Amino acid sequence: MRLASLLAAALSMAAPAFAQTPIGDADAGKTVFAQCSACHEIGQGAKSRIGPHLNELFGRKAAGIDGFRYSKSLERAGADGLVWTLDKLDAYLENPRVLVSGTRMSFRGLRKKKDRDDVLAYLRAFSESPANIPEAEPTARKVEVELPPEVLAIKGDVAYGEYLSSECKTCHQLDGSDAGIPSITLWPEEDFVLAMHAYKQKIRIHPVMQMMAGRLSDEEIAALAAYFGSLE
Amino acid sequence: MTLNRRAFLGTAAAATVLSAPMLRAQGRPKVVVVGGGAGGATVARYIAKDSQGAIDVTLVEPTRTYYTCFFSNLYIGGFRDFSSIGHTYGGLASEFGVNVVHDWAVGVDRDANTVTLASGGVLPYDRLVLSPGIDFKDGSVPGWSTAAQNKMPHSWKAGSQTQLLKAQIEAMPEGGTFAMVAPPNPYRCPPGPYERISMVAFYLRENNPTAKILVADPKAKFSKQPLFEEAWNSSYTGMVDWIGPDFGGENVEVRPDSMELIIDGEVEQVDVCNVVPGQKAGRIAEMAGLTAENGFCDIVPATMQSRVDENIHVLGDATNGGDMPKSGFSANSHAKVAAMAIRGALTDSRVFPAKFSNTCWSLVDTENGIKVGATYEATEEKIAKVDGFVSQTGENSALRKATYEESLGWYAGITADMFG
Ligand SMILES: Cc1cc2nc3c(=O)[nH]c(=O)nc-3n(C[C@H](O)[C@H](O)[C@H](O)COP(=O)(O)OP(=O)(O)OC[C@H]3O[C@@H](n4cnc5c(N)ncnc54)[C@H](O)[C@@H]3O)c2cc1C
C-alpha cells in the first residue's frame, strides 16, 4: 500500500504535466495521422524511416533520436534547448518552417486547430511510457508498390547517381530545405526506391515526377537512392 | 652537390608534366565559360565543384548582378520585388573556386584556342563554353531597333529594361493601352509573352481596370494557349485583345517617337509598347563563326559540343536545341550534360548518357499557376522528346495554388543550383 502510493507519487513526478490535460480526439487523430505515415512510424516496434519514429515524442528533446540524420536547423534547435512539449508540437504542426526554418520535414502544416488537437492526442497516446505504448500495429507505412526482391536488392552506383541527381537539383535543394518543392535528401534507400517506382508506375500522381521517374531504369533509380542516401 | 640536386628535381618536375597527356601546356586543363546566366553559371559551378580543383574554370560575365528573366514577369505583376530576382557571383568564386571575370568576351580565336576580352586580356582554353543567351535580329519589327529600346522596351533580357517596362505600365493614363508585339519562333521562353500579358492584366485590373491590352502576334498558335486564354477570359474579361496572323498580327510596324503601332495598316495610338523582336544567338556565337543559317548554333546532343568546333560547347538559348524549348530550365539541363562531357574529356571522370528535362511554370493570376514540361534524350540528329505533360483547363484552385507554390520551390532550387 505504502509502496504503491510511493511508486505512484514517483511516477506522477516523472510524468510530465501534459498527461493531465485533455487535448482532442485520439481516434480522429489516427485519421489525420495518415498524412504523416508516409514518413513517420509510430507504435510497437516503430523505426525511423524518412522521418524519425514518433514513440515517446512528448518530452523528447528536438533532434533527440541518436543515429537519425536531422537537418542542421533541427539539430541547432535541440542544442538550444527545444523540447517537444504540447505547445511546441502544436506550433510545429501548424507551420513547421515557422518554428524550425530549415527543417527537412516537407509538410505544409495543419491549419485547423481541431486537426492538430486530434493528432496530438493520438501522438500522446504513444508517449505515456514505453510499456504503455498501445499494442496496435506499428503504423506501417502504406505499401504503395510491390517490388520484386531483386529490384530492391540492386546496389546503386553512387557516381552514376550523382550525375543523375544533377537533374533533380534543378528543383530539389541538396540541403533538404523546402521552399515549395519537398526535400529528398537522406532518405533510407528503400523508401527512395519505393517512391520513385510509385511515380514510375503512376501510382503516385504528380505529373512532373511521373515523367521524370518514367524514363529511369531500375538501376538508375537505385543509383539515385544510393547517392541521396549517402550525402553528408 | 647543390647543383646536382637542383638538376634532378627539375627533371622530375618536367617528367611529371610530360607524362600527363591531357594537360595542354602546363598545369591544370582550362575551361573558359562565356556568359554567367542559366547555362553558364550552372556549367561553371558543376565543373568546378565536381572536378574538385582538377580543372581551372574561368567565367566571363559583364554584369555583377544577374537578374533572372524567370520571375521577371512576376515582378511586373507585383508578386516579387526586384532585388529578389537578382543574384551575384560571390559564391561561385569563394565556395567553388571559379575565377569570375566581369568583362565582355569580344572575340574567339579558334586556331589559337583563346578568348579575347574587351579589356584586352586574352584567355587560353582547352574547352570553351558559350552560353551568351540571345540577341535581336535586325529589322525583325520595322521601325524598331535597340536604339528605340527606351521608348519601346523589349524587356526580354532582365534588368533595367524590366524596371523600365514596369515604370511605364505604372505611369499609364487611366483607361490607356498597353501593347505587345510578340516574337516569331524560335524565341526565348515560349510561354513568356503570354505570362507577361497575364501579369500586366493582373496589375491593370487592380490599378487601372479600364485599361486595355493589345497583342500583335505573328504566330497562329502559342504555348499553353488554351490555359492562357482561359485565364484571360475568366480573370481579365474583355481586357486582352489578341491579334493573330489571320487579322494582320504578323504585319506590324512601330513608330517609337509618336508611340504608334501599325497593325496591318491601321494605326493604333498606345501608351506602352513592349516590342519583343525576333531572336538569334548572342552575338559572340556569331563572331566565333558557330551559328547556322537561322542564327543559332547546331550542337551534338550527347555532349553539347558545337557541330563546327569540338573544343567549344554551346548551351541554352543560343543553341538549336531540337525539341527542347529555350528556357532557363533547359539551359541548366544542357549545362549538366556539358559539364559531365567536359570533365570526361579533360580528366578521367566517367561519362554517362545525356539526360535532359524541362518544366516551365507560369503565373496567370494570384495563386493560379500552370505548367508544361517534358523529358528528352540525345539522338544522333537532335535532342528528342521522350515524354511530356501540360496543365489542364478547368483545374481546381487548390491544384493551381499547389502549382504556383511549386514554382516558388523551383525558383529557389534553380538559382541555388546556378549560384551555390
Ligand atoms: C519574360 C521571361 C520569362 C521567362 N520565364 C522563364 C521561366 O519561368 N522558366 C524558365 O525556365 N525560363 C524562363 N525564361 C527563359 C530564360 O530566362 C532563358 O531561357 C535563360 O536565361 C537562358 O539561359 P542562357 O544561359 O542561354 O542565357 P542567359 O541566362 O541570358 O545568360 C546569358 C549571359 O551571357 C552574358 N553574355 C552575353 N554575351 C556575352 C559576352 N560577349 N561576353 C560575356 N558575357 C556575355 C549576358 O550578360 C548574360 O548574363 C524567361 C525569359 C523571359 C524573357
Whether the full predicted model's pTM is greater than 0.80, yes or no, is yes
Domain that holds residue B103: 6-135+280-350
Contact A167 B357 (CB under 8 A): yes
Radius of gyration of chain B (CA): 24
Contact (Cβ atoms closer than 8 angstroms) between residue B152 and residue B180: no
The answer to whether the bond into B186 is cis (omega within 30° of 0) is yes
pLDDT the model gives residue A101:
84
pLDDT the model gives residue A141:
56
- Contact list, B333 vs chain A (CB under 8 Å): 167, 170
Answer yes or no: do B253 and B175 share one domain: yes
Residue B133 C-alpha to ligand 1 middle, in angstroms?
A: 5
Q: Say yes or no to pLDDT of B306 above 90.
A: yes
Secondary structure letter of residue A212 according to DSSP = H
State pLDDT tens for residues B4-59: 433 333 333 333 333 333 444 458 999 999 999 999 999 999 999 999 999 999 99
C-alpha cell belonging to residue B35: 556568359
Q: Say yes or no to pLDDT of B363 above 90.
A: yes
Residue B2 confidence class, pLDDT cut points 50, 70, 90: very low
Answer yes or no: do B29 and B115 share one domain: yes
Q: Say yes or no to pLDDT of A19 above 90.
A: no
pLDDT the model gives residue A15:
46
The answer as to whether B413 is a domain residue is no
The answer as to whether B326 is a domain residue is yes
**Which residue do the cell numbers 499547389 mark?**
B402
Residue B69 C-alpha to ligand 1 middle, in angstroms?
A: 6
Instruction: Give the least confident one: A94-98, A136-140, B230-234, B251-255.
Output: A136-140
Contact B46 A169 (CB under 8 A): no
Answer yes or no: do B131 and B146 share one domain: no
Q: Say yes or no to pLDDT of A9 above 80.
A: no
Pocket of ligand 1 (CB under 6 A): B 34-40, 60-63, 66, 69-70, 72-73, 104-105, 131-133, 156, 188-189, 192, 196, 282, 284, 316-318, 326-329, 331, 360-361
The answer as to whether B142 is a domain residue is yes
Answer yes or no: do B155 and B273 share one domain: yes
pLDDT the model gives residue A125:
87
Answer yes or no: do B21 and B103 share one domain: yes
pLDDT the model gives residue A144:
79
pLDDT the model gives residue A130:
54
pLDDT the model gives residue B24:
45
Best-predicted range by mean pLDDT (A70-79, A124-133, B32-41): B32-41
Answer yes or no: do B234 and B175 share one domain: yes
Q: Say yes or no to pLDDT of A131 above 90.
A: no
Q: Where are the domains of chain A?
A: 15-124, 149-230
| CA separation, residue B412 to residues A210, B81, B87, B328 (Å) | 22, 15, 11, 13
Q: What is the mean pLDDT of residues A94-121?
A: 91
The answer as to whether B389 is a domain residue is no
Answer yes or no: do B94 and B148 share one domain: no
B266: number of Cβ within 10 Å: 8
CATH assignment of the domain containing B76: 3.50.50.60
pLDDT the model gives residue B199:
98
How many domains are contained in chain B?
A: 2
- Contact list, B416 vs chain A (CB under 8 Å): 173-174
Nearest to A211 among B339, B375, B416 (CB): B375
- By alpha-carbon position, which residue is closest to atom 22 of ligand 1? B328
Answer yes or no: do B148 and B273 share one domain: yes
Nearest to A173 among B377, B388, B413 (CB): B413
Measured CA angle at B146 (ends B144, B152), to 5 deg:
60
Contact (Cβ atoms closer than 8 angstroms) between residue B26 and residue B18: no
d(CA A153, CA B231): 48
Contact A211 B373 (CB under 8 A): yes
Q: What is the mean pLDDT of residues B371-385?
A: 97
Contact A179 B350 (CB under 8 A): no
Q: Say yes or no to pLDDT of A29 above 50.
A: yes
| Residue B275, strand partner residues | B181
pLDDT the model gives residue B27:
86
Alpha helices in A169-232 (DSSP H): 189-200, 207-214, 218-229
The answer as to whether B152 is a domain residue is yes
Contact B414 A172 (CB under 8 A): no
- Of the residues B223, B242, B277, the one at which a domain ends: B277
| Residue B31, strand partner residues | B57, B127
Residue B328 C-alpha to ligand 1 middle, in angstroms?
A: 7
- Of the residues B299, B330, B350, the one at which a domain ends: B350
The answer as to whether B356 is a domain residue is no
Answer yes or no: do B145 and B114 share one domain: no
C-alpha cell belonging to residue A180: 515549395
Q: Which residues contact B144 (CB under 8 A, 6 or more apart)?
A: B152, B181, B254, B256, B275, B277
What does pLDDT average to over chain B?
94
Residue A44 confidence class, pLDDT cut points 50, 70, 90: confident
Residue A6 confidence class, pLDDT cut points 50, 70, 90: very low
Q: What is the mean pLDDT of residues A20-28?
A: 83
CATH class of the A149-230 domain in this structure: mainly alpha
pLDDT the model gives residue B179:
98
Q: What is the mean pLDDT of residues B158-181?
A: 98
* CA-wise closest residue to B216 among B186, B190, B183, B172: B183
Domains A15-124 and A149-230 share a fold: yes
- Of the residues B313, B335, B350, the one at which a domain ends: B350
Answer yes or no: do B148 and B270 share one domain: yes
State pLDDT tens for residues B312-352: 999 999 999 999 999 999 999 999 999 999 999 999 899 99
Answer yes or no: do B28 and B45 share one domain: yes
- Counting other chains too, the contacts that A70-75 makes at CB distance below 8 Å and 24 or more residues apart are A70/A104, A71/A100, A71/A102, A71/A103, A71/A104, A71/A175, A71/A176, A71/A177, A72/A102, A72/A175, A73/A100, A73/A101, A73/A102, A73/A103, A74/A100, A74/A102, A74/A103, A74/A104
Higher local confidence (pLDDT), A44 or B67: B67
Contact A172 B413 (CB under 8 A): yes
What does pLDDT average to over chain A?
86
DSSP output for B176-216? -EEEEEPPPSS-B-TTHHHHHHHHHHHHHHHH-TT-EEEEE
Instruction: Give the least confident one: A89-98, B85-94, B115-124, B407-416.
Output: A89-98
**What CATH architecture is A15-124?**
Orthogonal Bundle (1.10)
